[in-house]
Amino acid sequence: MNARNVAIAVGVVVLVVALWMFLKFRAVQQAAVKWEGKVDEIASEKIEKQGESFQVELTSRIDAPIDAVFDSFEHPEKSQGMVPEIQVAKVLSGDDKKKTVEFHIVALDQPQVLTVELTYDQAQKRIGVKTVEGLTDIDGAYQLVASPDGKRTLVVYKAKQTVRLPLPDGILQGAIKEQFVNLMRAIKKDLGQQGKLVARAGLELRLAA
């Protein structure tokens, strides 16, 4: 093959790779749109860029007692398949104080493998989370807060997250929100299957009528 043909072949490969990267970016960008603005499962949100990392604070209400919610967090393997985006949740090692878990998830329609260490503080109702391996570095915790009547729980997630992907901040923030929401949905589904969710106040009033 002469130099001209080599140059043409290289050019074609470069164009194909560039087209693939463009289509991949467009797909991620389109998937991120649905996470812009208010999301039903998120009661409040604050995501701020500081240097290369995001300081994250997200909250969600779960209509179940705090002990039931904590128990669901203690069994991360149950989240597997609870929502389509959590494809694998495998406990690699651990006990009731600390577990290492491998997650295969989908974020912004893209597959990811993430291994995290979860630590459990039963007395404080706090679950620490730290990345062991993956494209996203997470160092944070889920703090559970019981409602005054004890029937509901507020999950407060605070973390420092660094996503090692060359994507715009808005798209990365969408991925952070999506991962949080998918976990909340999985926990709610687990609690629902156990019959531990309580009816919402509005629904209770309608049923009573």
- Residue 22 belongs to some domain of the structure: no
Residues linked to residue 109 through DSSP beta bridges, in sequence order? none
- Residue 135 belongs to some domain of the structure: yes
Q: What is the per-residue pLDDT across 156-170, written as a single tens digit (0 to 9) for each?
A: 999 999 988 777 888
What's the rounded Cα separation, in Å, for the pair 127 and 158? 11
Domain span at 188 = 34-208
**How much is the pLDDT for 63?**
96
Q: What is the per-residue pLDDT across 19-59, written as a single tens digit (0 to 9) for each?
A: 334 333 344 434 433 435 555 789 999 999 999 899 999 99
**Is the sign of the CA dihedral 132, 175, 124, 97 positive or negative?**
negative
pTM value is: 0.78
The count of domains in the chain is 1
Residues 50-86 as b or e (16 or more Cβ within 10 Å = b): eeeebebebbbbbbbbbebbbbbbeebebbeebbebb
- Residue 144 belongs to some domain of the structure: yes
- Residue 134 belongs to some domain of the structure: yes
List, in order, residues 6 or more apart from 134 with CB less than 8 Å away.
112, 113, 114, 115, 116
What's the rounded Cα separation, in Å, for the pair 198 and 209? 18
Residue type, 49: K
The CATH number linked to 73 is: 3.30.530.20
* Residue 167 near residue 28, CB atoms below 8 Å: yes
